[in-house]
Amino acid sequence: MDVFIFKTTIGQQGDVNVISRFFISEPYILDWNVDVEDVDNILRIESENLSPESIEQLVKKAGYDCLHLEY
């Protein structure tokens, strides 16, 4: 299992609801959350067999921007 952290433009609960429809359809995303209280709107994803780039593309498809953060 991999854990990825992203800085995003997912800033409100309504945005979280929108993005959830995209994440539910992706079977390799095991768990995820967005901290809309954080200044960087941090998205944390637990996944199997997904690259950070593929997650970025999925977020962009939903209409938001994200940047993978190395930790």
* pLDDT of res. 9: 96
pLDDT at 20: 94
Cβ(3)–Cβ(45) below 8 Å: yes
71 pLDDT more than 90: no
3-class SS at 65?
A: coil
Q: What is the mean pLDDT of the chain?
A: 95
Percent of the chain exceeding pLDDT 90 equals: 94
pLDDT category, 40, cuts 50, 70, 90? very high
Name all domains of the chain by residue range, CATH numbers in brackets. 2-69 (3.30.70.100)
Strand partners, 31: 46
User: In this structure, how many other beta carbons lie within 10 angstroms of the beta carbon of residue 8?
Assistant: 21
pLDDT in tens, 19-35: 999 999 999 999 999 99
The H or E element that residue 19 is part of is helix 13-24
